[in-house]
A and B are shown apart, each in its own frame.
Chain A
């Protein structure tokens, strides 16, 4: 079965530099994925709402000016909303110590400057089947309850 990954590409926090998020979003779209793209400065609640409404597989957060420091808040909000089976990946300038903190908090992967767009697309394709399995189990349980 040909799975079309659904990806939300966004920025949270204060920074507005969107070259990275625009280039990545365009590439994923051209690579055959369904991409939901937002302008910068999204509130965490808004990202959670969008992820639920659009039933995305992956949330890609672009961070160039320390906004990654609030990604753990996004992960907590996703958890509180019951969103299992959605992976959060981060791309941008993330110091090594902060990368460890993000992975610990539940970020699936951090892509640093110089990452190849194809590598990002390939990684997303590789994780989506497992994410879908998790999400369909959740729905089944909901239906049973």
Chain B
């Protein structure tokens, strides 16, 4: 007969002590571990770390403050997330063909990533032809945008454009809307990467305008859109660039929140009411493969953002307080070695973003570390999202990791770490001053080096790179997709002919007006960018005018 268990031996005090003893005996030489943000990770989390007595204060309900569990009542059970795969390669005609094929296959949103020449503020005839269309579509005019969107109903499709300052892609889109008789009020979408500070700090994909000019154009852009394109999101605050450049997840989040506050302050300073623009603020983040850390990062920030806004601007409408974000799986985590392993990495990254409660997701293609992604690679990336949603049923339950001792403890610790980094920036005078002085760039560089040192020492394992290596040759790697050089040459020739044929009078007048607006502090520069786009000015002409009038920008050389 079994002896009944003595309740005293089951008391947490007793079993806890026993577990600690057995753990110490069996683990031997325990490894110290910390996550990428530098938070020490324990072997076990219990209700000593977090317990349900804190439920109401820490968690609450989805769509309700403090929003830890999600910004909407239904979250992914309702409308899931938007699958927003970046596309952009080659010429506008090639882009249009790919876009129409995506729409036929069910895509409901448009994304456009322009060629690096566009990011950098040049027309195609100002740069090395070898670099055209290799990483994005070459869009230099309203006519090009018209071709990109030929046969596409822009009144019904949300258009996300990777459109850094001075937002000429939106200006071209508005010019196309005007031609087609579509009112601005029905244009929806986002100026992705409109955040000039992250460009200065991290990826330097800006058009070499000096910081004060970039700051002003962004505020003008937000003001213009708030008044004229009310369904457009003019502000996308970007943490992705900074984390890709080496910032830890907590740093990247802190610097992003600091950037958002800076941009909101700038809008307030020019007399805008926070209630008019905060609902149109969105965020864009990186998702690394550090699974629980990323989940905690997103949950912590979602809880933090409304608190910061209440304190600073006294707003309390849910539309302003909701922390809406798009996220992209981290390319830096992907390896050239055994590239198919990247599919596993992207899956884990995507899961972290989904459990983190994202609104929109781009999954990287496994082959992006080899070259610009192939269509084959991009298809697997989309399938990964579909599998997670419809086969693995990740969307059945809202915030399924909520209440986990570990996840809740880590969410609190990430929140503290984010606040600590945020204070560093605020103490330095806010994000603008901290970027101007190079502080943020230095902190990111140090983190990048610290991480690389861990990879070199083997402390941080990367499968196929510093562990589990196999011999590989070029034959083991999938084929990459090149650019159609003939198509690019044709695009160049057509551009030259079009430029010669357009009304030079109209172009000169629009550029003169733009220059005057740049020198009139109360004028809205972006309004004149839109007029210039309609008048047939090119992207390069608009950027050159603003560079000339508002000053040339430099990247700080810093090792």
Contact = CB atoms under 8 A, between A and B. Distances in A.
Interface of A: 13-19, 22-23, 25-27, 29, 35, 37-41, 65-67, 69-70, 73, 93, 95-97, 112-114, 116-118
B462 to A, nearest CB: 7
A113 B131 contact: no
A14 B116 contact: yes
* A14, A37, A113 pick with most chain B CB within 10 angstroms: A14
Contacts of A96: 474, 477, 480
B131 A39 contact: no
Contacts of A69: 128, 130-131, 134
B372 interface: yes
B409 interface: no
A26 B204 CA distance: 19
B131 A26 contact: no
B207 to A, nearest CB: 11
B448 A22 contact: yes
Interface string B192-204: 0000000100111
Contacts of A37: 557, 559
B402 interface: no
Given A40-B204, A69-B131, 4 more contacts: A23-B246, A38-B557, A66-B130, A114-B462
Interface residues of B, number: 47
Interface of B, secondary structure class, is loop
30 contacts: A13-B128, A14-B117, A15-B116, A15-B205, A17-B202, A17-B205, A18-B204, A18-B245, A19-B244, A19-B245, A19-B246, A19-B332, A22-B448, A25-B559, A26-B449, A37-B557, A37-B559, A65-B135, A66-B130, A66-B134, A69-B128, A69-B130, A70-B128, A73-B128, A93-B370, A96-B474, A112-B336, A114-B335, A114-B464, A117-B452
Given A16-B204, A38-B557, A39-B554, A113 B135 contact: no
A65 B116 contact: yes
A16 B200 CA distance: 10
Contacts of A19: 244-246, 332, 448
* A18, A26, A37, A116 pick with most chain B CB within 10 angstroms: A18
Contact of A118 (B246, B456, B477): B456
A37 B556 CA distance: 11
A93 B559 contact: no
Contacts of B117: 14
Closest 9 pairs (CB-CB, A-B)? A16-B204, A39-B555, A14-B116, A66-B134, A96-B474, A69-B130, A114-B465, A95-B480, A95-B371
A66 B131 contact: yes
Contact of A65 (B134, B244, B448, B449): B134
B369 interface: yes
Contacts of B134: 65-66, 69
B120 interface: yes
Given A38-B557, A95-B480, A114-B335, A23 B135 contact: no
A76 to B, nearest CB: 13
B20 to A, nearest CB: 40
Given A39-B556, A93-B370, A95-B370, A23 B448 contact: yes
Contacts of B369: 93, 113
Interface string B522-559: 00000000000000000000000000000000111111
A66 B456 contact: no
Nearest to A116: B456
B412 interface: no
Interface string B110-149: 0000001101101000011011001100000000000000
A67 B556 CA distance: 21
A6 to B, nearest CB: 15
A37 B199 CA distance: 20
A16 B245 CA distance: 11
Contacts of A25: 559
B335 A39 contact: no
A118 B457 CA distance: 11
